Structure 1
Amino acid sequence: MATSPSAYDVIIIGAGAAGLMCAATAGYRGRRVLVLDHANKPGKKILMSGGGRCNFTHLNSTPANFLSGNPHYCISALKRYTPRDFVELVDRHGVAYEEKAPGQLFCQDSAKDILNLLLTECEWAGAEIRLKTQVQEVSEASGGYQLVTSNGMLSCESLVIACGGLSVPTMGATGFGYELAKQFGLNVLPTRAGLVPFTLQPELKQQLAPLSGISCPVDAHCHNEHFREPMLVPHR
């Protein structure tokens, strides 16, 4: 006998920061929401961000700080939800934080505070989170989508892909989101690493060794771009 898939208004694939925030927002708008993730715990990358203290926003973020094929999206997104809006959410949950550098806000204690905030928001909004669930197949169905998962069939009116990128494979990152986007005809740009180390000659490494662990003010020039920001010399 055929199994009738469980129906939701919104299914979100990915229980990271974006997926959890989306789930809470949709839940507060009266939607029946389900978050799926193949990992055994939600928000793993949140816990490692900011050296374990989660640099959760930058007060001086502007559309100019983002690269996008559609610059108007960055403008509208930051107007609809600003860094100050998230700070107000953090304040409502009583999370202690500090400004380490102009505009850069970090938790005083642990990144767990931000993860717990998001999980609490999902709970209050009535969003369900289902972990250890592999999405094996997604197809269009009448008025929405049907998903085949390792724990059964599901259906929804709206599907959100919030799987994250390829940056930290050891934390469970895969290319599933990109492949799913391609399946439904969405334009996917070639991926390139956005955060990479500089490999230095032994002589220069020796000169910089006394600065290990120190953030130094640096002027960097590349083609027509110029940046003046702190540069961290790592311990290794």
Structure 2
Amino acid sequence: MLWRVLMQMWLGVVLVLSMAYWAVGGLLFVIGGAVLVPLLPVENSRALGQWLLSVAFRIFLGFLRMCGVYECEYVGFEALNDVKGGLIIAPNHPALWDAVFILSKVHGLRCILKASLMHNPFLRGGSKLAGFIPNKPAHKMLQQSIEALRQGDRLLFFPEGTRTRKQEDCINTLQGGLGIIATQSCAPVWPVFIETNSDYLCKGWPLWHLPDKKIRMRITLGEPIASPPDESAAEFTKRLREVYVAALGGGEKR
């Protein structure tokens, strides 16, 4: 009992330090974005912003790992090392911090981000500098995403559109946007399967509610899925969901 109390106190300290890290980091990204975006060519500012975010996320996750908050095993991501051209990284979405793990591991990603988060003080500067794309209005998001892929950019897209709901078996019904983007751009979709033993930061989990045990995660990169010319967006979306169900549906939490 005493150990549990001490652990919760320690996690509380870690949470405060984490918030301080992102408060300072968010301010620096806002300042950096305001200075660098007007001065640098778009491609250079995006590349710099993506690199800085990746470094910031790696430092943050390294701190949490050192503090004993989580363990994470990445599987199969070396397959991306020699891949060129536009592609879509598409993870399932069990928890709020999933993007942090992906962006820290895969370099050069432009994230399709919830429009409201583009105005979050912790995320606004970094997301603007890195060239993230707001998910609303939908038609503009689709257009920007397709154009980015045709230019050879890499996108991070959560096809569920929100965190996985507890009442779902293993993954929400996929939103139609990814199917439209994949079929119109002909870019391959690389599914990512995130498995965890914890409900920490899942749908409905308050930010101030600390985890009740050490979080263990496994993040696996699947095989790329391409859309043939005669496949509709709905057919592609259905086929993609079957891939997630096959990978996630039968397994127990780690």
Same fold (TM over 0.5): no
Give the alignment's TM-score, normalised by structure 2: 0.22
Question: Which structure has the larger Rg?
Answer: 1
Give the alignment's TM-score, normalised by structure 1: 0.24
Query: Higher strand proportion, which one?
Result: 1
Query: Higher helix proportion, which one?
Result: 2
